[in-house]
């Protein structure tokens, strides 16, 4: 499964939690939340701060700390063609997968939003692959992509196309990873869209049926406008998730050929845990985090404008 966090209604939750308490305010009540807060500060806030500090240091896993280097790590990063390539690969991957997740997820949710047994069975089919670990998923797909014996080669061989080998193709390596990723976790957008569809009051559909509105018209005038907020949420969530591409690339292509499918997280992993340059890897992490925030904010504000227009 991915590192997905289902989006919770953040704004509303904050307001409601302020009103929701019962009884008098008391310091003792803080003890309920204290254990979690301690864990969150110790294992997220402190590492965040430490990571920012590390990114300005010459810190080697074996050689230890060799003092501050100001912006050297960042300067070196942006002078490294491989790192710049990983940014391009990551952005390309996000552009390939996010629309696919939204479109296929929406299609599945709309067609499988029913109470019949076949709806339930098909929903289970599309969700099932997302419970598998990245190791199992990549193992399955490496076998599927095998040039001579793989399922893909067997199928294309039937129509006379031989020598299919996406994993070692500079052009097709990244799309091949994108296909695996969409196959793996299409269940997440589908589920989020289904949850949104079930919030639409059935009376609206009954009224549309009385007006003999066509299926297409119902979809365009009722269904899509009702869930446009969810479309934005899913798009933002997928952008954030797909920026984190790592295991699929590491285990299917190893980033190759010629770095054409190496994502940013793999670069962080390799510079930090293979080359042991922790300061440098920490700087790359900050760049990743900043890019993710920017991409999510851009998508969010675009979606909002469209929603209001």
Partner 1 sequence: MQDDSRPATGDRLILGAVVLLAVLWIAPIAWVVGLSFKPNEVLMRSTGGLIFPPFTLKNYTDILNSSAVFGWMLNSAIVAAGQMALTLVLASLAGYGFARTNFPGKAPLFVLTLGVLAVPEQAIIVPLHTMFSWLDLHNTYAALIAPRLAFPFGVLLMTQYFRAISPEIEEAALLDNASRLKIFFRIVLPLSIPAQATLGIYTFLHAWNDYFWPLVSATRPEMYTLTVGLASMQTNFAQTEGLGFLMAQAVFAGLPVLVLYLFFQRHIVAAVAGAPTR
Among 118, 159, 202, 210, binds partner 1 (CB under 8 A): 118
β-pair partners for 57: 68
State the binding string over 250-289 for partner 1 (x if CB under 8 A, else -).
Answer: -x-------------x--xx--xx----x--xx--xx-xx
Least distance (Å) between residue 134 CB and partner 1:
5
- Pairwise CA distance, residues 182 & 220, whole Å: 25
Return the half-sphere exposure (C-beta side, CA atoms, 13 A cut-off) of residue 137: 24
Q: Which stretch binds partner 1 (CB under 8 A): 68-76, 94-102, 245-253, 298-306?
A: 245-253
Site for partner 1 in 287-306 (CB under 8 A): 288-289, 292-293
C-alpha 190/C-alpha 184 separation (Å) is 12
Closer by beta carbon to partner 1, 112 or else 174: 112
Residue among 94, 96, 176, 240 that touches partner 1 (CB under 8 A): 240
Q: How far is the CB of 246 from partner 1 (least distance, A)?
A: 6
Q: Three-state SS string across 276-298, please?
A: CEHHHHHHHHHHHHHHHHHHHHH
Spell 127-165 as b/e; 16+ CB within 10 A means b: bebbeeebeebbebbeebbbeeebebbeeeeeeeeeebb
What x/- string results for residues 135 through 174 when contact with partner 1 is judged by CB under 8 A? Answer: xx-xxxxxxx-x-xxxx--x--------------------
- Binding to partner 1 by CB under 8 A, coded x per residue (else -) over 6-25, reads xxx-x--xx-xxx-xxxxxx
What is the rounded CA–CA span in Å between residue 62 and residue 275? 10
Least distance to partner 1, CB of residue 75, Å: 18
Which listed residue (56, 187, 227, 295) binds partner 1 by CB under 8 A? 187
> Is it true that the peptide bond before 257 is cis, omega within 30 degrees of 0?
yes
- The footprint of partner 1 on residues 23-52 (CB under 8 A) is 23-33, 35-37, 39-48, 50-51
Smallest separation (angstroms) from partner 1 to the CB of 57: 11
What is d(CA 61, CA 279) in angstroms, rounded to the nearest whole number? 9
Residues 73-102 touching partner 1, rule: CB under 8 A, are: none
Structure tokens at 138: 């990549």
**How many Å apart are CA 34 and CA 52, to the nearest integer?**
25
Least distance to partner 1 from the beta carbon of 241, Å?
9
């Amino acid at each position: 499964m991915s590192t997905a966090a289902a989006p919770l209604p953040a704004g509303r939750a904050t307001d409601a939690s302020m009103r929701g308490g019962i009884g008098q305010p008391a310091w003792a009540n803080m003890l309920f939340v204290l254990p979690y807060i301690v864990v969150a500060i110790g294992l997220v806030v402190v590492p965040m701060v430490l990571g920012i500090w590390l990114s300005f240091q010459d810190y080697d896993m074996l050689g230890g700390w060799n003092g501050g280097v100001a912006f050297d790590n960042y300067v070196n990063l942006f002078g490294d063609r491989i790192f710049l390539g990983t940014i391009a690969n990551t952005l390309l991957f996000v552009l390939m997968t996010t629309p696919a997740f939204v479109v296929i997820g929406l299609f599945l949710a709309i067609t499988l939003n029913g109470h019949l047994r076949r709806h339930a069975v098909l929903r289970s089919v599309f969700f099932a692959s997302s419970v598998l670990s990245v190791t199992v998923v990549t193992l399955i797909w490496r076998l599927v992509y095998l040039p001579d014996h793989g399922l893909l080669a067997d199928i294309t061989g039937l129509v006379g196309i031989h020598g299919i080998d996406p994993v070692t193709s500079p052009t097709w390596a990244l799309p091949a990873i994108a296909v695996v990723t969409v196959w793996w976790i299409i269940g997440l957008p589908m589920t989020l869209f289904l949850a949104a569809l079930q919030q639409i009051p059935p009376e609206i559909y009954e009224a549309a049926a009385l007006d003999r509105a066509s299926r297409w018209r119902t979809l365009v005038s009722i269904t899509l406008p009702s869930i446009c907020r969810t479309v934005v949420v899913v798009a933002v969530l997928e952008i954030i998730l797909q920026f984190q591409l790592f295991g699929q690339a590491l285990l299917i292509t190893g980033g190759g050929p010629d770095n054409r499918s190496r994502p940013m997280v793999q670069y962080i992993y390799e510079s930090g845990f293979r080359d042991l340059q922790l300061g440098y890897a920490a700087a790359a992490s900050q760049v990743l985090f900043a890019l993710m925030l920017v991409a999510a904010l851009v998508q969010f504000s675009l979606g909002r404008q469209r929603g209001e227009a």
